[in-house]
Amino acid sequence: MSSPDPQRAPALARAALLPLVVDMDGTLLATDVLAEGIVAGFFSKPVSTLLAVPQLLGGRARFKRRIAELDAADIDAAPLRADVVDWLRDEKDKGRAIHLVSAADEAIARRVADRVGVFDTVQGSRDGLNLKSRRKAAALTQRFPLGYVYAGDSRADLAVWREAAGIVTVGVSAGVKRRVERMAAPVERAFVTPKAGPETWCSALRLRQWSKNLLVFVPLMLSGEFRHPDAILASVLAFLLVSIASSGTYLLNDLVDLGPDRRHRSKHCRPLAAGLIPIHTGAIAALCLIVGAMLAAQLALPAMGPPLAAYLLLTCSYSLRYKRVAFLDAFLLAGLYTLRLIIGATVVGKPGSAWLLSFAMLFFFAMSLAKRHVEIASAPAGPIPGRGYQGQDGPLTLAFGVSAAIGSVMILIIYLMEEAFPSGLFSNPVWLWAAPVLLALWSMRIGLLAHRGALDAGPLSFAVADPLSLAMGALLAAAFALAMFSG
């Protein structure tokens, strides 16, 4: 937050006595409630949301009212600008009159104002009047003939600042800032919003989760196709396309889960939930990544198209509906991991082993339940928001998870005896017995940590950062190399 200009101190002193008028979207809130309403409505009430579009013919205010009536977005959890709210409370303590005047629907503005508790009056768009830009300026000039100070955040607020006696900017762009500085009214406060840089986008796109997509390379290694450059190139490209598509689905998932994430003890820090990335930007990025990955796969690896489409369809089904169904959510997550193996097998031209795919389904079902168990163990009794579980379901998820892990180890042993050993791909296959041993030990460790509530991430994300897990992975890789090349 920048300091006021000392050369304009007299004007600032006069302005400080005037009423303070505050915008809502992007100023009081770190989000746009109309964008949230449209996105939430599209996911939860798609038909009603599409039927609201013709309301635009009667003006934006009517459209906003219809979106507000859908009540699809969790407005009560929308992120407030903490720095702005603290400043408003200080001004209120000084006896200053504060008014919320927003282009958002008035009913929504009143709900937000009630959360903050500092506003003397609330005014928003209603009765067909979209209270924005010049319309807002005219309304405020008429309402406050002795002058007012206006807090806003966007280019649309320039018309209001021209008529105001004082200016408060919140996270404005460089271009808007230059135009504000040329205005006659003094700038009372200038709140700065950090831009969404690479670190923020890396978090939103879950680049760390790309490690899960290394499963694409498993069929390349087990089939012996890693000796062929074309197969290696195809697998690398498949890995990149699956990773790009999965990042798009992570954005999609975060858009669907805005409300529950904001009420979660740790997920409220996710960039979309925290308002670090605008909702419309996240939606556009998700669409571009998903569609772009599909088109690139169709052009570069046509055989990859169907399994990738199945992966995306299953992901969307999970995000939009089935993540709220107990145990089915974990089963679908296991299916997404298994589809990565199928994609890897498809691009190298080798059919997936039925035993290997069965192992993958059970193993990843167990890992998904381990993650759910940790969430359940840390939740209070009763239904968990956004999930199909309750706080007392912990023993059941742990029991099913451990059973699935044991079953996956047994299937892996059958795979080794029925397919891997007789395949002739391994010059010394006895080393492959390290795989079920290491997998059993690692699964027991994951189960123990989940039971103790010490698993602070999904099992696979945990493994990437856990030294012991990495050491066991290195031993597994060494055993595979010995089985393949030692004679």
Tokens of 299: 């052009």
Per-residue pLDDT, 10: 58
Q: Which helix (H) or strand (E) holds 188?
A: strand 187-191
Taking the CB of residue 297, how many other CB atoms lie within 10 A of it?
Answer: 25
Could you tell me the CA-to-CA distances from 266 to 83, 131, 263, 375 in Å, in that order? 21, 36, 9, 11
Give pairs for 84-93: CB < 8 Å, separation 24+.
84/22, 84/27, 84/28, 84/151, 84/170, 84/191, 85/28, 85/116, 85/118, 87/1, 87/189, 87/191, 88/20, 88/22, 88/28, 88/116, 88/118, 89/118, 91/20, 91/118, 92/118
CB 127 within 8 A of CB 140: no
The dihedral built from the CA positions of residue 318, 320, 325 and 326, taken in this order, carries a sign that is positive
How far, in Å, CA of 470 to CA of 452, rounded?
21
Tokens of 390: 């309750």
Per-residue pLDDT, 16: 62
Q: Which residues contact 210 (CB under 8 A, 6 or more apart)?
A: 243, 246, 247
Q: Of 404, 419, 303, which is closest to residue 353 (Cα–Cα)?
A: 419
Tokens of 392: 């007392």
Question: For every residue of 299-355, which 3-state class applies, written as one string?
Answer: HHCHHHHHHHHHHHHHHHHHHHCHHHCCCHHHHHHHHHHHHHHHHHHHHCCCCCCHH
How far, in Å, CA of 104 to CA of 64, rounded?
7
Q: Of 428, 420, 443, 436, which is closest to residue 483 (Cα–Cα)?
A: 428
Q: Which residues contact 355 (CB under 8 A, 6 or more apart)?
A: 411, 414, 415, 418, 419
How far, in Å, CA of 147 to CA of 140, rounded?
9
The domain at 6-191 falls in which architecture?
A: 3-Layer(aba) Sandwich (3.40)
Classify 381 as helix, strand or coil. Answer: coil
Fold of the domain built from segment(s) 198-350: Tetracycline Repressor; domain 2 (1.10.357)
Query: Could you read off the pLDDT tens digit of each residue along the chain, which spans 487 residues?
Result: 554 555 555 555 555 679 999 999 999 999 999 999 999 998 888 899 999 999 888 888 999 999 999 988 899 999 999 999 999 999 999 999 999 999 999 999 999 999 999 999 999 998 888 999 999 999 999 999 999 999 999 999 999 999 999 999 999 999 999 999 999 899 999 999 888 889 999 999 999 889 889 999 999 988 888 889 999 999 999 999 999 999 999 999 999 989 888 988 778 899 999 999 999 999 999 999 999 999 999 999 999 999 999 999 999 888 888 888 999 999 999 999 999 999 999 999 888 788 889 999 999 999 999 988 888 887 777 787 777 888 888 889 989 999 999 999 999 999 999 988 998 888 899 999 999 999 999 999 998 888 888 887 778 778 878 899 999 999 999 999 999 887 6
Helix axes 229-256, 328-347, angle to 10 degrees: 150
How far, in Å, CA of 281 to CA of 270, rounded?
15
How far, in Å, CA of 418 to CA of 422, rounded?
7
Domains of the chain by residue range: 6-191, 198-350, 353-487
145, exposed or middle or buried, with CB in 10 Å at 0-12, 13-18, 19+?
Answer: exposed
Tokens of 258: 């805005």
Strand ranges across the sheet with 166-170: 121-125, 98-105, 20-22, 149-152, 166-170, 187-191
- 417 DSSP 8-state letter: I
CB 283 within 8 A of CB 39: yes
Q: Which residues contact 87 (CB under 8 A, 6 or more apart)?
A: 1, 189, 191
